[in-house]
Each structure stands twice: as structure tokens, then as C-alpha cells.
Amino acid sequence: MGISVYRGREGGEMFQGISYQTMDQKGRIAIPTRIREVLNSGGNGNIMVTHGISCLMAFSLEFWKIVVEKAASLATFDQRSRDFIRLFIAPAMECAPDRQGRILIPSSLREYGELDKDVVVAGMLKNFEIWDRKKFDAKMESGRADQSFLLEGAGLLGL
């Protein structure tokens, strides 16, 4: 399996596919080549990594700026807005690839994602996720058990 990247109709990168990676002892993982190429063509190749649901979420800097600008428009004293910013925006860290195309995932993010040696990079259209391999496999298996969401998702798309 591999990662595919293309430009959406409205601009911006679209990531899809699955890539299996190994995290080294220092906490570095290789970003798949296609993702690196697109990120380098649109900027310095850095990505923003933050908390996801049972995983980490990674964004191009270009898309992250949109996320932050929209988050800044949320009501300052609304509790749900503050919780969202605290749990999603605040822990985000910019990660720069080294010469081998690896990023160092900061220890706080590795701990949150419960990342072990074997990880998965999964394209999720406007971003990609970084999963612990065992957790990803369990998530995929639970999805296979009830595939009704596939039809529901197609319905949401108007298909």
C-alpha cells in the first residue's frame, strides 16, 4: 500500500492511502515520499501534528493556518470553544523533516498517541493520521464488523 496525493478542486492537498512505517528509538518516522513532495512544493515541508481521536493528526502548514484562523473566530468565553482549543490547537507542534524525510514526533505527542515502534500513516483527505499499528488494526477490524457506515457515507456524499 502507499499514499496518493492530489490537488482538490478548491486547491489544497488531498491525501489518501495507508503507509506502514517504523518509528526509531528517538521517535522519528519517515513521512511517505508523495506527502513530502507535495509539502515541499507548497512550502518548507514542515507539518503540524496534534491530538486526534486515538491517534495523531497531521496537517500541511497551509491548511493548519486555515484551522487556526477559524478557531480564532470562536467565542472566547464559550466553554466548548475553549475545550476545543485546549485539546486540539494548544498541543499542536510543528515538525520539520530531516534530510532523510523523517520527522521527530515530540514525546508528549508520542505519549498521547500511544505510539510504539510500528506506526501507520493514513491519508484522510485534508490531513493524515499517525496511528500506533495495533490500534489502527483494531480500528479497521471494528469497522469491518459493521460496514453500514459505508452506505451512510456514500449517502452523505449524494451518491
Per-residue pLDDT of the chain (159 residues; tens, 9 = 90+): 677 766 666 667 788 899 999 999 999 999 998 888 878 876 788 999 999 999 999 999 989 999 999 999 999 999 999 999 999 999 999 999 999 999 999 999 999 999 999 999 999 988 999 999 999 999 999 887 777 777 787 777 776
- Contact present, 120 and 131 (Cβ < 8 Å): yes
For domain 3-134, the CATH superfamily is Transcriptional regulator MraZ domain (3.40.1550.20)
CA distance 65 to 103: 20
Name the residue ranges covered by the structural domains of the chain.
3-134
Under a CB-based contact definition with an 8 Å cutoff, are residues 39 and 47 in contact? yes
Residue type, 76: T
